[in-house]
Structure 1
């Protein structure tokens, strides 16, 4: 995280809210001001790690690699990290877990073990319809 401090990094996803499974990765989101500079800097910092892959899209940069048997994903976009969907989804999911408790956590983990991504798992467990990513954002306060 120190290497990424210029980009306001945040750990998001399943690990901080304890719905991770054995195959879960560590998701770190970042905010960049210059798309190409961020892609270059991420490559410089992490291209020596196992399975390094950089995906450059028009609106985001994604790096994947392995450190000590942990899959790491770094996602960057030109949006403040606390406004990015990954962070917002995590906060909503955390609040839902506080409301519904371990029963929801158990259902989500079971669905994840069955192959569902996190947001669809929450949507199924809660009976939400439509696009699960949008449905969760619709629950935001």
Structure 2
């Protein structure tokens, strides 16, 4: 199985056309440079090549002080088109959204190391499944996503998993 350093963006540079466009966009606007102090990682469908039209660029970050991160987010990204932000739960996460060169970008920050956040953990399991089961499996997942399925439920459906798809995927944890 190919190993990808998802913590760095450079793997996108040699990826498919959409991955290369995502890489160029994130570099052009220095998004990861601006977020460097918060251990950003691009997660979701684009890194593992199961994105569909309309998929966004999901970036996870870690900050011990979410109010400070919120201020930083507003200071550095509020001038971006369609900028919005919200707090989720009892200050358990801060989420910012905006548009860059045709991409919806979502920055999700928690007081939890990025490699321990669910978005990252799900992506690793999904990547391992895609590598293990090959192109036909990838196409089945993508077909369900095109029908409106969210990523984890699409994987669970193709694999015949029952129960909560988010939990079931983590239970597979091939690492």
Q: Which TM-score applies when normalising by structure 1?
A: 0.98
Q: Which runs of 4+ in 1 moved over 4 A?
A: none
* Superposition map of 1:81-100 within 5 A: 81-100=114-133
Q: Does 1:17 align with 2:58?
A: no
Larger proportion of strand: 1
Equivalent position to 2:59, from 28, 33, 50: 28
Shift of the alpha carbon at 1:86? 0.3
Would you say how many aligned residue pairs link Structure 1 and Structure 2?
A: 141
**More relative contact order in 1 or in 2 (CA 8 Å, sep 6+)?**
1
Is 1:102 the counterpart of 2:135 in the alignment?
yes
Whether 1:56 and 2:87 are equivalent positions in the alignment is yes
1:7 aligned onto 2:38: yes
Specify the alignment match of 2:70 in structure 1. Answer: 39
Q: In 2, distance between residues paired with 1:85 and 1:33?
A: 17
Q: What is the RMSD computed on CA atoms of the aligned residues?
A: 0.7
Give ranges in structure 1 of 5+ residues lacking alignment. none
Shift of 1:89: 0.3
SS in 2 for 1:109: helix
Q: CA deviation at 1:103?
A: 1.1
Distance 1:62 1:83 in 2: 17
Relative to the length of structure 2, the TM-score reads: 0.79
Q: Aligned pair 1:131/2:164, yes or no?
A: yes
Q: CA deviation at 1:50?
A: 1.3
**Which position in structure 2 is the counterpart of 1:66?**
99
Deviation, structure 1 residue 33? 1.2
